[in-house]
Structures are given as C-alpha cells and as structure tokens.
Structure 1
Amino acid sequence: MKLLRILGGLTAAGLGAAAWGYSELTKFELKEYTLPLLPKGTLRGKPEFRLLHLSDLHMIPGQETKIAWVSALDALEPDLVVNTGDNLSDQQAVPDTLRALGPLLTRPGLFVFGTNDYWAPQPVNPFKYLLGKKREPSYVDLPWRGMRAAFMEHGWRDANQARHEFKVGNVRLAAAGVDDPHHDLDDYSEIAGPPNEDADLSLALLHAPEPRVLEKFADDGYQLSLSGHTHGGQICLPGSRALVTNCGIDRDRVQGLHDFGPMKMHVSNGLGTSKFAPVRIFCRPSATLLKITEVD
C-alpha cells in the first residue's frame, strides 16, 4: 500500500507539472538588451537601431494567442526583423505563420531555416532528449517553398547559404547565414570571409548555435550572431537553468546574450515547441528586441 501511495503521488506530481508546463506555452515574454556596436555618428541623432529577433514559432493551425502576440510586436517599430527558423510544426501551418508575421513582413527582414521548416515533427522520446542525443528528422516534407516565396515577395532576404549587404536607414548592414548546422545542412565555405569593412553592423545567422560554425563567424570578424533552436532549454530547473541544449553549445549559453570569443551571441528561447512536446518548464516562450547603439 505504501508503494502504491508513493507511485500515486509521483503520478499526480507528474501530471501537475505537465499541466503547468502546458499552461506556460502562451505566457509570451519580450526580452530586451542594449548593445553598443555601431560606430559613432552612425545613427545621426536616433537613440538606437532596433533589431527584433524571432525564432522557433513551431506554428500549429489555430494558435490564435500566439498569432496575436507575434503580430503585435510590430508596434515596437523594429528597424530590422531577423527570423532564425523552425517556423512550422504542421503541414497546414503556413497560412497562420504568415498571419502571425504579417505586419512584420512589411519591415526589412532576414531569415534562415531550421529542419522543422523543411520536415514535419515527429513524436519525441523524452529520454533521448534528456540525454542530449540528436534525433533523426522525419523527412516528411513541409510546404517551406511557399513560405519562403511569401517571405521574399514581401522583401525579406533569404540568408540560407548567402551573404547580403544593404542599408536600413543610416545603418549599413553586412549579413551572412548558413542552413541548419544541427543536421549538417550548412557549408560555411560558401559564405566564408570577413564582412565588408565598410559595414556599420555585421550579423551572423544560423538556426542552431553550433560552436563549430560560430567559431568561423567569430574568426571572420562578425559582431553579432543570432540563433534559436534550443528553446532556451525548454525543460529547465528554477532560474531557467537548462538541463540540455539539444546542440553543441554549453548550458550556460543556451539562451540570451553572451560572448562567443570577440563576437556577441544571442540565442532565442523561441516562441513555440514541437506539437509532440507541448510543455515548457521555467523557460517561457519569448522574442527579443536588441537595441543596437553607438559605441561610447
């Protein structure tokens, strides 16, 4: 009887934790950081260059709270939107993804993809996840080509295996990105080399913050890398201390703003989860506003 009571208590605790973790999925947060990276005089009197970083929407049809929250981020008036992938978690999710991003698509933007843009999610073995083992993709195609076309028709630049140079307001940008390195879809040699030295701000884009790729961006002299994929750990201890990172980055840098050698690195918590793992523990979904200012 004592064993049954213990098992019953553990089951109840587990169900309670799962229910709480599910309720956290729509408690979206906006994180903000200020970064002095721009040469003096770049902003010509403006206080900052506002970069909105989104990642890991993992959209499922009918997620109206998420759609409303993401679309309302346009009120922040970002100068640039950067989307670091894993937008989809369902084969029918492209229309709602475009609804969520709709107002932001009118802003200058850059994007790279993760494997959950290309291939549908599949059930997760929680023990494999907690042991940090890489999972094989389902290879069930998602309609990413139509989503990519819509992004580009609105003016967002595809940074998968590409370099871009353009100007937003008074800020000259140099950006480069790779396809998802978590499943070895990247080829850094295609975009290798320092950013244009005339750029005011240089950005490195990749879905998963894999150190082997971050090292190359840092060595080439990029100022700021932007990535997602980790979901901030997703299932964390109090204080948002991650148990696993689901990639090669260390747990201390699984979310937020950190240094990676001479380069700044921002890893997004992301805004969703796989539909087969709808839970977050001590790790709420978020987007990030990076306020890029002039150096002192």
Structure 2
Amino acid sequence: MRALPLAALGTAGAAAATVAAAHVWARHVEIHRYTVREQELRILPPGARTIRVLHISDIHLVPDQSRKLDFLRHLATYRPHLVIDTGDNIASAAAVPVLAEAIEPLLRRPGAFVMGSNDMFAPVRKNPLRYFLPDARPAGLTERTDGDLPTQELARRLGEFGWKDLTNTRATIELGGLEVRLAGVDDPHLERDRFPDPAPVEPSAPEHGNVLRLGVAHAPYRRVLDAFVADGAELVLAGHTHGGQLRLPGYGALVTNCDIPREQARGLSIWKGVPLTVSAGMGASPYSNYRLFTPPEATLLTLRARRPD
C-alpha cells in the first residue's frame, strides 16, 4: 500500500483537529453562551406607547442545568410588558416545578404560550443525520396521542398566574390601552395545528383603534405562517428550529427540521409582508446538547408606534 504524502497527512490532521475543536466548543462552550437578541419593530398603531415583548422558546430544561436556570431568572430584569413562550420547555417530567420556580417573576406578567412536541414526549436518542432527510420525524410520531410527559401539569403551571394557553385558540390581553389579539395553534410538527375559528364580530361595536394582532406557533411550517398572514397577523412568533443548531459561516443553518427556508431559521425576517421572528431557543435535546455558531437565546422585541404617513 502506498503511503500518503506528508502534505496530505498534514491536511487531514488539520481537518481532524478543526472538527475536534468545533465539537469541544459546541458541546462545552457555546451551549452555555446565553444571550438576549434585541430587535425593534414599528408595528403599533400611531400614538401607542412602546411595549417590550420577551420571546422565549425551546428551553429543553432538565433540573440540573444551573446556568440555564440562572439565565431564565435573569430575564425578569428586562421587565417585559408581555411574554410569549413558543414551546419545548422541558426535557423531563422533573423539570416542570423547577421551570415554574425559575420563571415565576415572568409568569406574573401578561403572557401566552403554545406547546411543542418536547412538552409531550420525552427526548430519545436519535441519529443526527436523520435531520437531513426530507422528513426527520420518526415513523408514527404524528399519530401518537399518548405523550409521556406531564403536559397538563406544565400547562397548569404556565397558566396559574394568567398566561393564556393558545392551543388552537384565540385570546386577548389588554396592555395599558393596547388590545393584543392572539391566535395560536398546537404543534405543527406533530400536525396538531387546527387554526382557530375567526373571532366573533359584533356589528354594533366599532373597531378598536389600538389593536395588535399576533400569531403564535411552535414550529414555523409554511402552511401555518400562511394562515396567520391570511388571518391579519401583524407579527408572527415561532421557535423549534434552534436556529439550525449547527450553522456554518457564509452558509447559515444546515437544517431547520421543518419546511421554512434555511435563511429564515433564526431571527427577524418577513413572511409575505408580515414580520416573522423565529427564536433560536435556549437549549437542545440532552442527547444532542451542543450548538455551533448559534448560541442559546431569548428575544426582546421592542415594539413602537408606526410613524405617521
């Protein structure tokens, strides 16, 4: 067998060292680099006061994640006027009371939530190459109804101070003269989304001037985004993608785990004329607890009044 040239050996060794360094960084450093992504939108009615919306998602909490819990507690210092939680909060049944304690200051503020698949089904070990398939979901997942996590207990904890459960329904929250009308769906990744019926219209009541319409889902599938746009949403919030979880400079997200374009897997973009914010989330499955070029995050949206024409 002919030996490889020294130059080839050197190149292969450098490549192996780069991969090893990336693994160490993703698994032991970046996964703990919690950050707050701050963005601003002018979508409120003219004259409305500025509001801060905290968007949290994909926490995937297990009870011993002390740095993640510290970050969750820290988020209350931003004093948001509204909190939106787009699901995948837990990775074990034992995490429910721990999560509720950590975010109690946020739960006492106006808020709303939807659930993700990992609020229903405990994580399992998967081949990461599965996410490069056209449909990464395990066979039969969308037909299952027997979730093995305490989803109802989680919903009770999230709602005990007044957060609205937006599972295939609508809700309204009053924020100091601004009426926030929310529409939400159950997890599209499990095909449980059933778009809520239109809100009833009272012919005798004039249209409220200070209104903000939000669409909320866990997974940003195109069919759901289109439904929110058709429903008149002025901002859509989602999670699920982890920002790709692994990103490459100059390329972006490798996968999205849904049918949204890769370039819209994280941050603020526009979907058919409507602002869309997709949170990269705060965590990952315990069996794939790493991130590369997409650190764990929460999003603080500052919403201001539109400028007069």
What TM-score, normalized to structure 1? 0.91
1:89 aligns with 2:91: yes
Q: RMSD value over aligned CA atoms?
A: 2.2
Does 2:286 align with 1:275? yes
3-state secondary structure, aligned to 1:208: coil
**Whole-Å separation in 1 of the counterparts to 2:37 and 2:74:** 15
The 2-side partners of 1:9 and 1:225 are apart by 44
Aligned to 2:52: 50
Q: How does 1:128-147 map to 2 (within 5 A)?
A: 128-136=130-138, 137=141, 141-147=148-154
Shift of 1:100: 2.6
Measured after TM superposition, the shift of residue 11 of structure 1 is: 5.0
Superposed CA deviations along residues 17-43 of structure 1, whole A, max 9, x for unmatched, are 211101211101111111111111222
Aligned AA (1:225)? V
- Secondary structure, aligned partner of 2:286: coil
User: Secondary structure at the residue paired with 2:71?
Assistant: helix
Structure 2 residue 72 is the aligned partner of structure 1 residue 70: yes
Are 1:21 and 2:26 counterparts?
yes
- Distance of 2:81 and 2:135 partners within structure 1: 38
Quote the residue 2:219 is aligned against.
208
Give the AA of the match of 1:276.
Y
Change (3 A) 1:115 1:148: same
User: Amino acid of the residue matched to residue 26 of structure 2?
Assistant: G
Q: CA deviation at 1:61?
A: 1.4
Give 5+ residue unaligned stretches, structure 1.
none
2:40–2:303 contact (8 Å) kept in structure 1: yes
Cα distance in 1, alignment partners of residues 102 and 220 from structure 2? 25
1:123-166: CA deviation from partner (whole Å, max 9, x where unpaired)? 12111113353222496511121111111111111001110122
Q: Distance in 2 between matches of 1:132 and 1:125?
A: 15
Give, in whole Å, the separation in 1 of the partners of 2:168 and 2:54.
21
Amino acid at match of 1:152: G
Query: Does structure 2 conserve the Cα–Cα contact (< 8 Å) formed by 1:203 and 1:222?
Result: yes
Name the amino acid aligned to 1:69: F
Maintained 8 Å contact 1:160/1:177: yes
Q: What is the alpha-carbon distance in structure 2 between the residues aligned to residue 155 and residue 240 of structure 1?
A: 41
The alignment partner of 2:287 has SS state of coil
Partner amino acid, structure 2, of 1:187: R
Moved more, 213-222 or 197-206: 197-206
CA 1:260–1:86 in structure 2 vs 1: closer, same or farther (change >3 Å)? same
Cα distance in 2 between the residues matched to 1:140 and 1:239: 39
Cα distance in structure 1, aligned partners of 2:123 and 2:89: 11
Identity %: 39
Whole-angstrom distance in 2 between the partners of 1:50 and 1:260: 22
Are 2:110 and 2:173, in contact at CA under 8 Å, matched by a contact in 1?
no
Aligned residue for 1:95, secondary structure, equals helix
Aligned mate of 1:218, from 229, 234, 258: 229
2:226 alignment partner, SS class: helix
- Which of 276, 292, 306 is equivalent to 1:265? 276
Q: Distance in 2 between matches of 1:194 and 1:268?
A: 31
TM-score, normalised relative to structure 2: 0.88
- Opposite residue 53 of structure 1, the aligned amino acid is H
Query: Paired residue for 1:117, among 98, 116, 119?
Result: 119
Residue equivalent to 1:175: 182
CA contact (8 A) 1:42 1:200 kept: no
Checking the alignment, whether the CA contact within 8 Å between 2:48 and 2:304 is kept in structure 1 is: no
Larger radius of gyration: 2
Question: Structure 2 stretches of 5 or more lacking a match?
Answer: none
CA distance in 2, matches of 1:288, 1:194: 32
What letter matches 2:175 in structure 1? V
Residue number among 256, 260, 285 corresponding to 1:249 in the alignment: 260
Specify the alignment match of 1:289 in structure 2.
300
* Structure 1 residue 288, shift from structure 2 partner: 0.5
Asked whether the equivalents of residues 35 and 290 of structure 1 are also in contact (C-alpha less than 8 Å), the reply is yes
Query: Is the 1:84–1:207 contact (alpha carbons within 8 Å) kept by the matching residues of 2?
Result: yes
Between the aligned partners of 2:173 and 2:290, the Cα distance in structure 1 is 39
User: Distance between the aligned counterparts of 1:20 and 1:289, measured in 2?
Assistant: 26
CA contact (8 A) 1:177 1:191 kept: no
